[in-house]
């Protein structure tokens, strides 16, 4: 039972009204600062930062640990890949849980499970096979955690402007953690053994669980506990069976499949261009830096109406900078193209608003879980397909082809979204 419930219904109503008022205030302002005025968002943001850094550190440390134990590059690469592979299975099977159980219970439970897995990884003598199983277990519950958190943001911030900006902040944290976390993880491994670094991961998950347990209110589950049970496939049909929701889900899923192609093939392209490893590192940062800058600009400088209006043009044009691969660009031109492609990710703020408008409240947890599942799975598929294509074609041809094909796919998806109703927010309250 939460602290709010123990203080009585009157205190709970007062606190809920205060949070709703803060969410409304955040929604009425432009920029990210007002979102932090919502009391419950601050611990959610801090918990996200802790867990994301923990995952990044665990990925590096576990890869090093497995390589030292086996001496096998294949096993080391497999350890990293296991962060992606269980997503599809976990997200599909666990999606109904996001609406069946209270959000706080799901989030804290996932964090505690991941902390236990990390602690077991750090235990001396843990065999490699068990390390891989534990890594799979952490990845298996990750889409449930992400989907439940995304759905609960709408409860904390409302489903308008503040929700979009809150989602954007969490997305930027994830992007920044990849830029900073890998470097931080490398530094940690110069002073700590891999198992010692994984202990920090366990501590991060425990800290996240504590923040969510003490810093957020205990809200009831969205779906009735005694309602009819639905299979995971039925949940998938309920999301993809509605035309507008299906069109928006595909628009969230498919463009990233093409955006990951240049990132997946940067190493062979840079090697062919004679670039150093330092230059390769800078190129790897180019698209994430552009994505963060694009979201910051859209969230800080634009109104909700403007963000909605530029969603379709930015999504349609996002892959076009990658056509520069056709002329085999040098490092400077390539870096500029990757930054431009990253900047186009500002379209995701408008798309987030369209999506939350289309999802019924009782289906929100399931839909968000499946959304994150498909996103991660298809990015993994995109990386794999890029690698296969590059075995038979030059890298610059593969990336150019992905840009052309991806642009065509995005245009078809946008046409489908328009047929199913366009953006409700363009003329709604948030547009004023």
Tokens of 126: 């843990």
pLDDT in tens, 339-377: 999 999 999 999 988 998 888 877 788 888 888 888 888
- Whose structure tokens read 């990390």? 118
- pLDDT for residue 265 is more than 70: yes
Query: Nearest-5° angle of CA 404, CA 377, CA 183?
Result: 90
Pick the more confident residue, 337 or 385: 337
Cβ within 8 Å of residue 132, ≥6 positions away: 66, 78, 79, 82
How far apart (Å, rounded) are the C-alpha atoms in residues 248 and 356? 10
Q: Rounded mean pLDDT of the chain?
A: 81
pLDDT in tens, 5-37: 333 333 334 344 444 444 444 444 467 888 888
How far apart (Å, rounded) are the C-alpha atoms in residues 403 and 258? 7
Q: Which domains does the chain have, with CATH numbers?
A: 28-215 (1.20.1250.20), 232-431 (1.20.1250.20)
- Predicted confidence at residue 28, as pLDDT, reads 45
Q: At what angle do helices 128-157 and 9-28 cross, to 10 degrees?
A: 80
Which stretch, 8-22, 64-78, 134-148, has highest mean pLDDT? 134-148
Pick the more confident residue, 162 or 236: 162
- The CB density around residue 231, as the number of other CB atoms within 10 Å, is 10
Q: Could you tell me how far CA 42 lies from the centroid of its own chain?
A: 18
Read off the pLDDT of each residue in 408-430 and give the average, rounded to a whole number.
73
Q: Could you tell me how far CA 18 lies from the centroid of its own chain?
A: 29
Residue 40 carries which DSSP code?
Answer: T
- Predicted confidence at residue 230, as pLDDT, reads 58
- Whose structure tokens read 């219904």? 9
What torsion, rounded to 10 degrees, do the Cα atoms 130, 133, 135, 138 define? Answer: -130
How far apart (Å, rounded) are the C-alpha atoms in residues 155 and 141? 21
Residue 362 carries which DSSP code?
Answer: G
Cβ within 8 Å of residue 321, ≥6 positions away: 336, 337, 338, 340, 341, 344
Which stretch, 125-139, 290-304, 395-409, has highest mean pLDDT? 395-409
Cβ pair 118, 174 in contact under 8 A: no
DSSP 403-415: HHHHHHHHHHHHH
């Amino acid at each position: 039972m939460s602290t709010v419930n123990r203080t009585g219904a009157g205190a709970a109503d007062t606190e809920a009204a205060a949070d709703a008022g803060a969410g409304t205030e955040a929604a009425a302002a432009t920029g990210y600062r007002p979102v932090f005025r919502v009391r419950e968002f601050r611990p959610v943001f801090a918990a996200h930062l802790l867990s994301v850094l923990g995952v990044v550190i665990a990925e590096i440390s576990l890869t090093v640990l497995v390589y030292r134990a086996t001496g096998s590059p294949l096993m080391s690469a497999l350890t990293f890949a296991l962060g992606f592979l269980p997503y599809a299975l976990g997200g599909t099977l666990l999606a109904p849980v996001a609406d069946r159980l209270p959000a706080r219970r799901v989030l804290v439970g996932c964090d505690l499970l991941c902390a236990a897995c990390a602690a077991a990884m750090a235990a001396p003598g843990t065999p490699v096979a068990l390390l891989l199983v534990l890594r799979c277990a952490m990845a298996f519950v990750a889409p449930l955690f992400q989907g439940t958190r995304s759905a609960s943001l709408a409860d904390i911030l409302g489903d308008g402007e503040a929700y979009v900006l809150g989602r954007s902040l969490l997305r930027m944290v994830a992007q920044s953690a990849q830029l900073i976390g890998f470097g931080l993880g490398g530094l940690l491994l110069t002073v700590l053994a891999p198992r010692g670094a994984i202990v920090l991961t366990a501590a991060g998950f425990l800290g996240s669980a504590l923040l969510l347990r003490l810093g957020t209110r205990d809200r009831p589950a969205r779906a009735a506990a005694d309602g009819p049970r639905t299979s995971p496939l039925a949940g998938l049909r309920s999301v993809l069976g509605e035309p507008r929701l299906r069109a928006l889900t595909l628009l969230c899923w498919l463009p990233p499949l093409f955006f990951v192609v240049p990132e997946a093939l940067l190493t062979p392209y840079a090697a062919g261009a004679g670039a150093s490893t330092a230059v390769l590192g800078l190129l790897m940062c180019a698209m994430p830096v552009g994505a963060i800058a694009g979201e910051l600009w859209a969230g800080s400088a634009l109104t909700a109406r403007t963000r909605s209006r530029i969603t379709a043009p930015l999504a349609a044009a996002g892959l076009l900078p990658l056509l520069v691969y056709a002329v085999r660009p040098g490092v400077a031109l390539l870096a500029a193209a990757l930054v431009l492609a990253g900047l186009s990710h500002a379209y995701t703020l408008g798309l987030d608003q369209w999506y939350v408008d289309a999802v019924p409240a009782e289906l929100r947890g399931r839909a968000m879980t499946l959304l994150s599942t498909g996103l991660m799975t298809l990015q993994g598929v995109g990386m794999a397909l890029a690698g296969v294509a590059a075995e038979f074609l030059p890298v610059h041809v593969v990336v150019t082809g992905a840009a052309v094909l991806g642009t065509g796919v995005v245009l078809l998806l946008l046409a489908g979204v328009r047929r199913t109703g366009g953006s409700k927010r363009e003329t709604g309250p948030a547009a004023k």
